[in-house]
Amino acid sequence: SRIDLALALAEEPGVILCSYGDLLRVPGSRRRSLLQARADGCDVRMVYSCIETIEIAGRHPDKQVVFFAIGFETTTPPTAVLMQRIAAGGIKNLSVVCNHVLTPAAIQHILNAPVLREMEAVRLDGFIGPGHVSAIIGSRPYEYFAEEFAVPVVISGFEPADLLLSILSLVRQTNRRQARVENRLSRVVTDDGNIAAQRLVASVFELRKSFDWRGLGPIPYSALRLKSDFREYDAEHRFHVSLPPARENPACRCGEILRGVAEPEDCLLFARGCTPENPMGSCMVSSEGACAAHFRYRPPSSSAMRRVGG
C-alpha cells in the first residue's frame, strides 16, 4: 500500500518524512503506522502546510526531506505550488511522493461496481458532493453521475446547517424521483470551479493509469503523478524502494461500506479491534470516515455498544 511506501521511505537512512496529521495514524498493511515508525526512531514530522517542508529542507541540508503528498482535489494545488518552488529554487534535498486522487473517478468506480449493477438499481440514494473538492473542480463533473446513474448529487458545505439543507434537498429529490445536481454551496462553488487552480495542477501533474485504493482496489485514471519535468524531485524515482505485496485485512469491509452495501456494524472488527484510536481500515481513520463517524455518533442501543459492554 502507499502507507507501506511511506514507512519504507521513513526508514531510509537520513530521510525526514513529512505529511499531514491524518496520515500519520493510518496503519500500513502490516498494521504499522508512521506514528509507530516515529516512536521507533524514524524522523517523521507532521506539517500543516506542505510549504513548511521547504523550511525543513533548508534547516537540514545534510538530510533528504520527503513530503508524502496525499488527498483529494483540495490539497493538490498547494502541492503544485510546492513543486514549482522546489524546481525554481533547485532544492536538491526535497522531494515529493504524489498520492493525489480524483473524486469523480472514485464515484464512477463505486457506481460501476458489479455488486451494485447486479441490484439493477443503484442502492445508493444520492451523493453529497464535498464542498471543498467542488470548490476546485466545480459542479459540472457531477452531472454525468446524475444523468448516467440517475442519482441526485447535492454539493454541500460542512457547517451543520449546510449539511441539513443538503440532506433535505436529497430527500426532496428522492421523493420526487428526480436526479440532478444541486449546488447548495453557491457562495463558494461555481459550475466550472477554480480555473486558476485547475491550470496550476495541470502544469505539474498528469494522470496515473491506475492507482490502488484501500478497500476498492485498483481504479484506472483515478490519481495523479508528477510530470516528467519534475522527475528529479519525485521521491518514487529518487529512492528505489521495493515493497512486498500489500496485505489488506480480509475482515475489513470498507469497500462494501463505501459502496453502500454494508454498514459499519456489519464489520466484525467494528468497536472491537477497530476504533478511532486504533484504526484497521481507511473508514475509521479520519473523523469524517463512515466507520469513525458511526463509532462516535451511534445510538447507545447499537449492537456494537452491547458488544463492548459485554
Residues that bind ligand SF4 (CB under 6 A): 252-254, 257, 264, 267, 269-270, 274, 280-281, 283-284, 291
* Nearest one of 106, 82, 133 to 217, comparing CA atoms: 106
Residue nearer to ligand SF4 on the CB measure, 94 or 269? 269
Residue 129 vs 264, nearer CB to ligand SF4: 264
The 3-state DSSP composition of the chain as helix, strand, coil percent (nearest 5) reads 45, 20, 40
Task: Give the separation between CA 230 and CA 222, rounded to whole angstroms.
Answer: 20
Strands (E), 157-262: 181-183, 205-207, 210-213, 217-220, 224-226
Mutual orientation of helices 52-59 and 76-89 as an angle, nearest 10°? 40
In what helix (H) or strand (E) does residue 297 lie, and over which residues does it extend? helix 290-297
- Identify whether the C-beta of residue 230 lies closer than 8 Å to the C-beta of residue 83: yes
- Minimum Å gap between C-beta 277 and ligand SF4 is 12
Closest separation in Å from C-beta 263 to ligand SF4:
9
Nearer to ligand SF4, 96 or 257 (CB): 257
Map grid coordinates 526508514 to a residue: 11
- The residue (of 140 and 298) whose beta carbon lies closer to ligand SF4 is 298
Nearer to ligand SF4, 26 or 42 (CB): 26
The nearer residue to ligand SF4, 157 or 281, going by C-beta atoms, is 281
Amino acid at 135: A
Closest contact distance (angstroms) between CB of 212 and ligand SF4 is 16
Cβ nearer to ligand SF4, comparing 178 with 302: 302
Number of residue whose CB is nearest ligand SF4: 281
Cβ atoms of residues 225 and 97 within 8 Å = no
Name which of 123 and 231 has its Cβ closer to ligand SF4.
123
For the chain, helix (H) and strand (E) counts, in that order, are 15, 11
Least distance in angstroms from the C-beta of 107 to ligand SF4: 19
**Min. distance of Cβ 254 from ligand SF4 in angstroms?**
4
d(CA 27, CA 7): 10
Closest distance to ligand SF4 from the beta carbon of 295 (Å): 8
- State which amino acid sits at residue 73: E
Cα 263 to the center of its chain, rounded Å: 20
Q: How far is CA 241 from CA 71, 235, 237, in A?
A: 22, 10, 9
Q: Find the shortest distance in angstroms from Cβ 247 to ligand SF4.
A: 14
CB 274 to ligand SF4: min, Å: 3
